[in-house]
Structure 1
Amino acid sequence: MKNVTFKNISGAGITMSANIYFPSTFVESNKYPAIVVTHPGGGVKEQAAGLYAKHMAANGFIAIAFDASYQGESTGEPRQLENPYTRTEDISAVIDYLTTLGYVDADRIGALGVCAGGGYSANAAINDRRIKSVATVSAVNIGQMFRNGWDGSVADTDAMGYLDFGSNARTNDVSGADLMQIPLAPMRREDAPNEELAEAWEYYHTPRCAHPNAPGYTLTRNLNQLVTYDAYYLAEAFLTQPLLMVAGSQAGSRWMSENLIERAASNDKQLEIIEGGNHMSFYDLPNYVDQAVSKLAPFFQRTL
């Protein structure tokens, strides 16, 4: 594994930080297919994204896990912005960098995302034709989640209050007061609305996988972008690349994978439901990660 930094030329002067994982038989003079692995909202490259990147490298790919702009070891102020449009653009910025590496085959680049990173990866594939295939694990369309709730039971219009809250936060933020924050995962176990999301607290805030660069919150001002965002926007027309989505049979987020499978224009699309897994199972539990990898590796070997 090699840590790298590079300029994101999307216009905000960001320097990205990423870890590149190499196949065990790597020879720099050869060319390899590459996979961009995108972390969940609130996560960093050393957590689930890095775990999947390591597995993809073990299966013959160059794999790169990166920290989003304003997060982790990537630069940008204010810290912990979770602007979904920036998060999607980050994936293309990583691809920009990959095309400069002599050992990467620029015609064989795929995208893999976990949780919100899955939604962002799908959105990037809709926008960026350099992505030749896309896969997700426990995908979350973060706009749907904020509008419609974890289980999809909330009507769009009932999320109007979040827009008011985000709008007021922007006024607060320019007043000189401390920037307002909201959690992306429960900050305390007692804040979790169900056992599945209590696992999110456990993952991010206990020795299970806590990391000092992943504080678990974002800025309230981002509600204005998040609530109105659709990671799957125009998938019916433009998401034509091969698509694989992996989700657990017990995942509250499963409906967001089913939604994209229904909407995507691709003629090569598949939803793999793994029995017994919930949303968090695929972040780090070996049994479920291994089952996901057993689907992901052949998919990318076939499509890249």
Structure 2
Amino acid sequence: MTTRKINFKNSNNGNITMAGIIFLPKEFNETNKYPAIVVTHPGGGVKEQTASTYATKFAEAGFVAIAYDASYQGESTGEPRLLENPYIRVEDISAIIDYISALPYIDENRIGAAGICAGGGYSLNAAINDHRIKAVGGISTVNIGAMYRNGWGNEAKDADAMPLLMMAADARAKEAQGTDGGKLPFAPEKKEDAPSKEMEDAWEYYRTPRAMCSTSPGYLLSRSLTQLVTYDAYNYADAFLTQPIQIIVGSESGCRWMSEDIYTRAASAVKNLHIVNGANHMELYDIPQYVEETASIIVPFFQNNL
């Protein structure tokens, strides 16, 4: 397996240059046509972390895989930095497909999408909107809008998120007046701030050498809540998510309900939910035994459906 770093203009916004890594299968031949999988990173993450872990697994199985940094994040350009606009995140996936579809060695009729955490939700949303995606997989899937409305464990009502919308409005007002609107952490800033083992793992993954990356500060602009709070990654899944889907989640994940939700809501005739016994949300990112189990399910899924 070999990799190539790439940069290209975002077809949805020509002012943004996307940064990605293409993972090529063993004995790659540019004269052949390969199925491709677009791999989308979690909120606050970058392409070099768990997205590359799974892109590697796909390439080892014969796919061309591409992990990339979202617009406004990582090595992709765009201002303001650290913007997490879910609609742009979903459009990024279609922009990646625009790019790879023009590559001579990609079979444009065999393109899949996979994502981890919020990247899973974004990938599913992209499949609802863009039917060039022929199959989609979600690993530790998060519907990021539902997370901000209802909490990690689905303990809050939608209306409880009103203060977040007010915070976002205040942040935008400050920015419009030339001052700092502030930012929010995706993961706890300190180990002692973590309310659970799962969130302690999030701190460790993003804030320690376990997976920390200089291009992944792990924050989002507070103004992002303007879009995030009212966003539903599964909007119209009951009507338009007709492609085969594979959902994989840990049995101990506090947000397991989000994976079960999309499994129930999807219109797909072929849909699968796999529970990784003993794993929490973060452990599917990089813990070898859980990555291997996840790969043993999601790789054959794409082989059978692309």
What per-residue deviation string (whole Å, max 9, x for no partner) do you get for residues 121-167 of structure 1? 00000000100000010000000000000001100011111001110
Partners in 1 of 2:30 and 2:255 — Cα distance? 40
For 2:281, the equivalent position in structure 1 comes to 279
Match of residue 149 from structure 1: 151
3-state SS in 1 of match to 2:13: coil
* Letter matched to residue 39 of structure 2: V
Range moving further from structure 2, 184-193 or 268-277 = 184-193
Alignment of 1:226-241 (within 5 A): 226-241=228-243
Of the structure 1 ranges 9-18 and 196-205, higher mean CA displacement relative to structure 2 is found in: 9-18
What letter matches 1:187 in structure 2? E
Q: Which amino acid aligns with 2:241?
A: L
Counterpart residue identity of residue 186, structure 2: L
Q: Match of 1:131, as an amino acid?
A: I
Q: For structure 1, which runs of at least 5 residues remain unmatched after alignment?
A: none
Aligned residue for 2:109?
107
Question: What amino acid is the match of 1:15?
Answer: T
Q: What are the superposed Cα offsets for residues 34-89 of structure 1, whole Å, 9 maximum, x if unpaired?
A: 00000000000000001100110000100000000000000001101000000000
Q: Distance in 1 between matches of 2:192 and 2:176?
A: 32
2:7 & 2:289 partners in 1: Cα distance?
A: 33
Q: One-letter code of the match for 2:51?
A: A
Measured against aligned partners, the alpha-carbon deviations of 1:153-212 in whole angstroms (never above 9, x if no partner) come to 100011111001110110011222224101111111122221101110100000100000
Q: 1:53 aligns with which of 52, 55, 63?
A: 55
- Are the counterparts in 1 of residues 171 and 180 from structure 2 also a CA contact under 8 Å? no
Give per-residue Cα distances to partners, 1:204-224, cap 9 Å, x unaligned. Answer: 000100000000100000111
User: Is the Cα–Cα contact under 8 Å of residues 18 and 75 in structure 2 kept in the other structure?
Assistant: yes
Distance 1:186 1:226 in 2: 19
Structure 2 CA distance for aligned equivalents of residues 46 and 114 of structure 1: 13
Partner of 2:8, secondary structure, is strand
- 1:301 matched residue in structure 2: 303
1:13 is paired with a residue whose SS is: strand
Match of 2:262 in 1: 260
User: SS where residue 19 of structure 1 aligns?
Assistant: strand
Q: Which runs of 5+ in 2 are unaligned?
A: none
Q: Specify the code of the residue in structure 1 equivalent to 2:172.
A: R
Out of 76, 80, 83, the position equivalent to 1:81 is: 83
Q: How does 1:96-175 map to 2 (within 5 A)?
A: 96-175=98-177
CA deviation after TM superposition for structure 1 residue 11, in Å: 2.8
Q: Deviations over 1:262-287 (max 9, x none)?
A: 00000100100010000001111000
State the partner residue of 1:291. 293
| Percent identity over paired residues | 58
Tell me how far 1:12 sits from its aligned partner. Answer: 5.4
Match of 2:19 in 1: 17
3-state SS of 1:112 partner:
strand
Aligned length: 304
Q: Normalized against structure 1, the TM-score is what? A: 0.99
Q: Deviations over 1:249-274 (max 9, x none)?
A: 00011100000000000010010001
SS in 1 for 2:164: helix
Are residue 4 (structure 1) and residue 6 (structure 2) matched? yes
- The one-letter amino acid of 2:77's match is T
- Within a 5 Å distance, the mapping from 1:20-31 to structure 2 comes to 20-31=22-33
Residue 92 of structure 1, aligned match among 94, 99, 103: 94
With structure 2 as the length reference, what TM-score do the two structures score?
0.98
1:91-129 Cα deviation digits (max 9, x unpaired) = 000000011100000000000000000000000000001
Find the aligned partners of 1:166 and 1:179 in 2 and give their Cα distance: 8
Alignment partner of 2:187: what SS?
A: coil
Q: Which residue of the partner structure matches residue 219 of structure 2?
A: 217
Q: What is the CA deviation profile of residues 214-255 of structure 1, one whole-angstrom value per residue up to 9, with x for unaligned ones?
A: 001000001110000000000000000000000000001110
Secondary structure at the aligned position of 2:201 is classed as helix
